[in-house]
Amino acid sequence: LPLREQRSPTGFCMSSAEFARVTKPGGRVAVATWQGPELNPWGAVPGRVVSRTLGLPPPPPDAPGIFRCAKPGLVRGILGDAGLKDIVERELTGTVVYEGPGHFWAFLNDVVAPVSSALAGADAAAREAARAGVAAELAGFAQGAERLVLPWAARVTAGTR
């Protein structure tokens, strides 16, 4: 599919319209999004701590990011505007287990581009302060020294063409 730019809500809406357009009549379109940052500390805490540690300004609420579509009903409205019917939302929750804070920190640096990009230009002291800050804020999710159990919450929204 020739998808439009995804860095704006308009781009997301245009892509949703394209998904609906190319779906066969009676076919389904489903979109999975993260729920809010308060339900996903694995994603919210690192960005907040790294930004605070490095003195970065917080992003605007509509900036690209994993929580851009977290508002309940937002994707439902977008899919409805794209012409889909019988739209349903389903909330999913679970946990992800890391082998301690060090394992989670390695995951962040290897996989989470905004965090690794921000830290790439930081000196060793700032990187260590960010690591310690993330570990401190997530300490309540530790189960012993070798286990970090973090909750996650997502939403799947689907509609029929």
Q: What is the pLDDT of residue 1?
A: 45
Q: What is the pLDDT of residue 11?
A: 58
Read off the amino acid at residue 52.
R
Q: What is the pLDDT of residue 12?
A: 67
Mean pLDDT of 88-105: 95
Return the number of other C-beta atoms located less than 10 Å from residue 55's C-beta: 7
Q: With a cut of 60, say whether residue 39 has pLDDT above it.
A: yes
Q: What is the pLDDT of residue 70?
A: 92
Mean pLDDT of 31-38: 94
Q: What is the pLDDT of residue 26?
A: 96
The answer to whether 83 and 17 have CB atoms below 8 angstroms apart is: yes
**Out of 9-23, 38-52, 84-98, 137-151, least confident range:** 9-23
Return the number of other C-beta atoms located less than 10 Å from residue 27's C-beta: 13
- In 3-state terms, what secondary structure has residue 152? strand
- In 3-state terms, what secondary structure has residue 91? strand
Q: What is the pLDDT of residue 155?
A: 97
Mean pLDDT of 1-7: 46
Q: Give residue 36's region: left, alpha or beta (phi > 0; psi -120 to 50).
A: beta
